[in-house]
Amino acid sequence: MIIPCIDLMDGKVVQLVQGRDKALEGDAPLEMLRKFAAFPEIQVIDLDAAMGKGENNALVELLASRARCRIGGGVRNADRARRLIDQGAHRVIVGTAAFTPALAEIAAEVGAERVVVALDSKNGKIVVKGWQEATEFTAEKVIGEVEPYCSGFLCTYVDKEGMLQGTDLEWFRRLRAATRHEITAAGGITTIDDIKQLSSMNVHAALGMAIYTGRLNLAELAAFD
């Protein structure tokens, strides 16, 4: 499955490089949703909420009401997860809170089948709080420990995020061997060949920069899906 991404910051659709530098702005959120209408699921990330710098709740709720969305960014407690599900989110993405007792509470509140755990890796270590803070964990080490509290993983190779230089297929191969849960790959996916190789591992592809810059063609991607 190919999952287009809508990342929100300051009320706009944006694309960042390695979670830091804004590279471009997309069209208005509903226009992006229209462009992505052929895809079965959309990934929506509230970057302001992820970084603790505000929120885009109204936009998140609007998008969740119009399409099948997995939504992340600032999902750090059960109340927030419940609100997103009630607003129409199909699933919630939990990053920072996945390494705290809050993960079990979130899973208990909305059901593990509605939870996707984000394992975002930079320099080999998981990063949290909008990728601003490194932990001592590796994705390969913790993936099995958090399996009971989710139905899938969003694994972002932050080292190449937004750079259009390809991704680390070997890393995704190791993660695929470590869990039977669904895995969605993100970070540096640039070509149809990248997507085909991930698909051959039974790994989904979340796409951002390659779509927004036109490197990958939406019609071709929709046909692939």
Q: How many other C-beta atoms lie within 10 A of the C-beta of residue 92?
A: 24
List, in sequence order, every residue forming a beta bridge with 208; answer none if it has no partner. none
- Of 7, 46, 48, 194, the catalytic one is 7
List, in sequence order, every residue forming a beta bridge with 134; answer none if it has no partner. 127
Is-catalytic flag, 120?
A: yes
The helix or strand, by DSSP H or E, that contains position 132, with its residue range, turns out to be: none
- Of 46, 48, 120, 194, the catalytic one is 120
Is-catalytic flag, 7?
A: yes
Q: How many other C-beta atoms lie within 10 A of the C-beta of residue 193?
A: 10
Q: Where would I find the H helices in the chain?
A: 29-35, 47-50, 57-66, 78-87, 102-110, 139-146, 169-178, 192-200, 209-212, 218-224
Q: Which residues are catalytic?
A: 7, 120
